[in-house]
A = this chain, B = another copy of it.
Amino acid sequence: MMSRIETAMQSALSITQASCPPKLASALQYAVFPGGHRLRPRLAITVARACGDPDPAAADAAACAIEFLHCASLVHDDLPCFDDADLRRGKPTVHKIYGEPIAVLAGDALIVLSFETIARGVAQSPHKMAGLVSIVAQAGGAPHGICAGQAWESEAMIPIAEYHRAKTSSLFAAATSSGALAAGHDPLAWRVLGERLGCAYQVADDIRDAADTSEEMGKPAGQDAARGRPNAVKELGMAGAIGWLDRLIAEAVDAIPVCPGQMALKAAIEREATAFLPAELHIRAA
């Protein structure tokens, strides 16, 4: 699976490289490789496979498009005017290496590449194109995508549920619904699975942040408290947050629509979700 995703992403990214301004070309590679856990594209491919994976090119395009948007958001969120982060995935952030102008442009170019990748990957099945572009756009932009999620942090009053829906769940929901659509299944039926998983991931992220696991995260912990951002552990306590995480994962599994690979998908989701938290925290919660 990982090799399928990395290969597809390298292939999609390669169209930006020849005759590109060298710093931008290098920054694009740096922002995308090596990746993190690739949770979102793995989710898209996992869903497409559960639906029989009849159109792997479309599934790969959807998976890459979502991960490119995610990488773009990391590059921009790390900028000095946002988190001013020095580290991401255990290495210096893009603007630390290439400077702010190239970091802004690399994020922009990755957003564009996201849609270009869909256009290339789905050219043979044009009836899926509008749906896939819409799913990815809604997850990326305003009012309910990751741009909006980040923009809530500039408001005095943050509606917590909408904030998490936009900032985190949107890309997970796009992963499940685009994976299904790529395989010819109804994308709407698959949204709830992604939304619950996205919510679970956010709670897990809050737990990791509050539990101070900088080394395992590859980025500084304690950021939510330092920045006054909402955090599930602050609201529910550590045990409460871990209990909520377990309930969200159970709801996600229950929300899996009927499909050829339904049982295998349930097992895969439960296995994947375990990795949302480092082993140390599972032990602490047990």
For residue A126, which residue of chain B has the nearest CB?
A: B126
Please state if A20 and B143 are interface contacts (CB–CB under 8 Å): yes
Also in contact, A120 and B134, with CB within 8 A (given A17-B143, A112-B145, A154-B21): yes
A148 interface neighbour in B21, B107, B115, B150, Cβ under 8 Å: B21
Determine the distance from Cα of A147 to Cα of B145 in the docked complex, in whole angstroms.
22
Chain B contacts for A138, CB-based, 8 A:
116
Pairwise interchain contact B105-A108, C-beta atoms closer than 8 A = no
CA distance A195 to B136 in the complex (A): 30
Q: Which of B131, B137, B154, B155 meets A112, CB within 8 Å?
A: B137
Flag if A76 contacts B137 (CB, 8 Å). Answer: no
Chain B's closest residue to A72 (CB) is B108
Contact of B133 with A101 in the complex, beta carbons under 8 Å? no
> What is the predominant secondary structure among interface residues of chain A facing chain B?
helix
A129: CB under 8 A from chain B?
yes
Least Cβ–Cβ distance between A36 and chain B, in angstroms: 20
A100 touches B81 (CB 8 A): yes
Q: How far is the CB of A229 from chain B (nearest CB, A)?
A: 14
Chain A: residues with Cβ within 8 Å of the partner, total of 61
Q: Are A81 and B104 in contact (CB-based, < 8 A)?
A: yes
A82 CB-CB contact with B under 8 Å: yes
The interface bits of chain A over 99-128 (1 if a CB of B lies within 8 angstroms of the residue's CB, else 0) are 111101101110111011011101100110
Q: Contact between B133 and A116 (Cβ–Cβ < 8 Å)?
A: yes
Whether a CB of chain B sits under 8 angstroms from the CB of A275 is: no
Q: How many copies does the complex hold?
A: 2
Binds B, one of A22-30, A218-226, A246-254, A259-267: A22-30
CB atoms of B119 and A151 under 8 A apart: no
Closest to A110 in B: B141
Chain B proximity mask over A75-86: 1 for CB below 8 Å, otherwise 0: 010010110000
Given contacts A21-B155, A24-B151, A108-B147, contact A130 B123 (CB under 8 A): yes
| A binding-site residues for B, Cβ under 8 Å | 15-25, 28, 72, 76, 79, 81-82, 99-102, 104-105, 107-109, 111-113, 115-116, 118-120, 122-123, 126-127, 129-131, 133-134, 136-138, 140-145, 147-148, 150-155, 162
Known: A105-B151, A108-B108, A115-B137. 5 other contacts (CB 8 A): A24-B151, A76-B105, A108-B111, A109-B147, A129-B129
